[in-house]
Amino acid sequence: MILSCDIGNSSSSFGIFEDAKYNPVETFRVDTKKISTEQDLKKFLSKNTAVKKLSGICVSSVVPSANPIYENFFNKIKLKPFFILPEIKLNITLCIENFAKLGSDRIANACWSHFYNKNSPEKKFQIIIDIGTAVTIDSLNKSGDFLGGIIYPGINSLANCLYESTEKLPLIKINKPKNLIGTNTESAIQSGIYNGILYLIKGFVSDICDFYGVCGDKNIRLIFTGGQSSLIFNDLNIDAENIIDEFCTLKGIKYLYDINK
């Protein structure tokens, strides 16, 4: 069994995969800040899986301070973790500046999406939309060229920013608003952030399609992932093939582990 680890800024996700398969048999999640020592990691993993049954570890991390915890813990139990880095073997071409700084989660998403595309009946231009602490919108052509992307604060990041930057605005949990026009402060914030993210994604996707000369569901595939993609997915209604895959990053990490063995 292979453990795939996606260490994010707010939360970390884990998936258990059978050796030759890409649908996780088990997944679990934890706030990233709760794993601050090797002992924390040991306790967390022991509660969720049989560590002794693991034969491989693969890790994507956008939190460099967390890396030594994972590396040291797994090395002690004779499982050298494989970290996703731009210099490893990829199935895509990175057509960007300074790709050494590209987030490993974005690499994993793009590599899995291209693998998915190659095995699909219809090969399409793909836009990968990951909605978490940040919203990332990355473009990948049919040939597997990673063309670059867009980074914007995520839903909770916007809510926190509004709260921390003002004296009177409250910190609220963002859900789908009942109406476009808020009738009190809380509902106005709900609408502003929720609908703002919707309009942002729709606008960027439209402009990306115009820029690259692609349009319609026969030519474009949108892949949504990230912890909050399910919150807004049904309200996007973009003219494209729309897919939501909450395990896209974990699958990409496992795929990269496999092709780099």
Closest C-alpha among 88, 81, 9 to residue 38: 81
Q: Is 82 in a helix, a strand, or coil?
A: strand
Told to judge if 239 belongs to the known catalytic residues of this protein, a careful annotator would answer no
Residue 123: in which H helix or E strand, if any? Answer: none
3-state DSSP: the chain helix, strand, coil percent, rounded to 5? Answer: 40, 25, 35
Cα 190 to Cα 59: distance, rounded to the nearest angstrom = 34
> Hey, which residues does 140 pair with through a beta bridge?
126, 146
Structure tokens belonging to residue 64:
């460099």
Q: Where do the DSSP E strands lie in 18-98?
A: 26-31, 56-61, 82-83, 93-94
Residue 244: burial class (beta carbons within 10 Å; 0-12, 13-18, 19+): middle
Catalytic residue among 105, 130, 138, 245, which? 105
Radius of gyration of the CA atoms of the chain, in A: 19
Q: Is 222 in a helix, a strand, or coil?
A: strand
Which are the contacts of 63, defined by CB distance < 8 A and separation ≥ 6? 7, 8, 9, 32
Cα 28 to Cα 30: distance, rounded to the nearest angstrom = 7
Task: Determine the residue type at 73.
Answer: F
Q: Which residues are catalytic?
A: 105
